[in-house]
A and B are shown apart, each in its own frame.
Chain A
Amino acid sequence: MAVPIQQKSTGARALQAWFNPLKRSAGFLAFVLMRVTGIGLVIYLLLHMVVIGNLLRGPEGWDALVATMKSPAVLVLDVILIAGILIHMLNGIRVTIIGLGFGTSSHKGIFWTLMAVAALLLAYSGWLVFTK
């Protein structure tokens, strides 16, 4: 059944309008990435505080936790977190420059350049996470 965006619930409308970069151009993709990573980072921050709360349970609890954190599965999550931080931070630079009215005509170039920097930094961080 067809549901035009006007007839969708607020949540479904946001899902379609905010997170679907299909058929859209680079700036829209940047918007989607910013929103996804922004929300992801907030969720991470909350989780992080819960995890840090384990310190209250004394050295044993903490040591067990640190062991889990060093498992390859969690290291993969670390790399995803770093990717989110890099994308959000570098894209934040783009939003700030463009948002002040500078470099608007090259906004796509700025986006792809910053994302290339993110990819390089991510590759380096990934290597550090798994080898050091």
Chain B
Amino acid sequence: MNQHGRFGPTRPITLKILRYKPGFIDPPRYDTFQVQADPLMTVLDALEEIKATADSTLLYRHSCHHASCGTCGMKVNGREQLACVARLVDEGTDEVVVEPLGSAPLVADLVVDMTPFALHMAPSGMALVRDSEFMPEAERPAGVERYTRYEDCIECNICLSACPVANTNPGFIGPAGLAAAYRALVTGERPAAEVFAYVDHDDGVWRCHSAMECSAVCPSDVQPGHKIMALRRELVAYKVKRFFKRG
């Protein structure tokens, strides 16, 4: 039955949530819960409502609620999104399937282990801080229309989940780490030789098969797929130059 909620008319939506608790809910199963969704209700809102009113054992990760911490990445109707900004009604389905990210070890329910992601990311040497946009130093120099900020990466692990290669190759550095490496290269944060040593191997920049799905799902517009390709271009140019210097 449709009712009126705080932000407009509501409609009943069933959430079909993957449940898994080693030793308890094992093998995994789907549980369904119904919520009255107003036009602004997000998947995270719904999970919090379910946890508060229906099943306090439901596990999921979240922090900031506004797409800047990168904690609540999950699959919503089969596509990776941040639960905090994925609106239920935007899915356009009466049932919304919520599942954990792929590519990362499953811990319980919607929680995955972020350790492998962090380990792949760390050697990029990218500073994991985001500077304020309001400092005078951040003013755009004349002639620069727009910055593409590689700091945009919120380390949500969404790109790895959407990557067909990372799902079967746990050793693959993955889109986020390679994008970070490209940033370290172009900003001069790290010497080229060091960056290339990190990415120039089978599980690095060459493992990518250009499905570009990472760029399609990245919630922070990092365009990691594009960065991987740009990194390859730089690496090829570097190798060609080195070859001729040697000769």
Number of interface residues of A (CB under 8 A): 32
Q: Could you say which residues of chain B place their CB within 8 Å of the CB of A22?
A: 78
On whether the beta carbons of B18 and A2 are closer than 8 Å, the reply is yes
CB distance from B109 to the nearest CB of A (A): 10
Q: Is the interface of A mostly helix, strand, loop or mixed?
A: helix
Q: Is the interface of B mostly helix, strand, loop or mixed?
A: mixed
On whether the beta carbons of B210 and A1 are closer than 8 Å, the reply is no
Query: Is B209's CB within 8 Å of the partner chain A?
Result: yes
A6 to B216, CA, bound (A): 22
Across chains A and B, the number of contacting residue pairs, with CB separation under 8 Å, is: 102
Query: Is A132's CB within 8 Å of the partner chain B?
Result: no
On whether the beta carbons of A99 and B229 are closer than 8 Å, the reply is yes
Q: Could you say which residues of chain B place their CB within 8 Å of the CB of A7?
A: 27-28, 106
On whether the beta carbons of B29 and A27 are closer than 8 Å, the reply is no
CB distance from A19 to the nearest CB of B (A): 9
**Beta-carbon contacts under 8 Å, B202-247 to A:** 209-213, 215-216, 225-226, 229-234, 236
Taking a contact as CB atoms closer than 8 A, the residue among A10, A13, A18, A25 that contacts B212 in the complex is A25
A94 to B233, CA, bound (A): 15
Q: Could you say which residues of chain A place their CB within 8 Å of the CB of B229?
A: 98-101, 104
On whether the beta carbons of B78 and A23 are closer than 8 Å, the reply is yes
On whether the beta carbons of A99 and B27 are closer than 8 Å, the reply is no
Q: Could you say which residues of chain A place their CB within 8 Å of the CB of B20?
A: 2, 4
Stretch from B97-105, B121-129, B193-201 at the A interface:
B97-105
Query: Is B53's CB within 8 Å of the partner chain A?
Result: no
On whether the beta carbons of A6 and B102 are closer than 8 Å, the reply is yes
Stretch from A28-36, A68-76, A77-85, A117-125 at the B interface:
A28-36
A105 to B216, CA, bound (A): 11
Taking a contact as CB atoms closer than 8 A, the residue among B27, B209, B216 that contacts A1 in the complex is B27
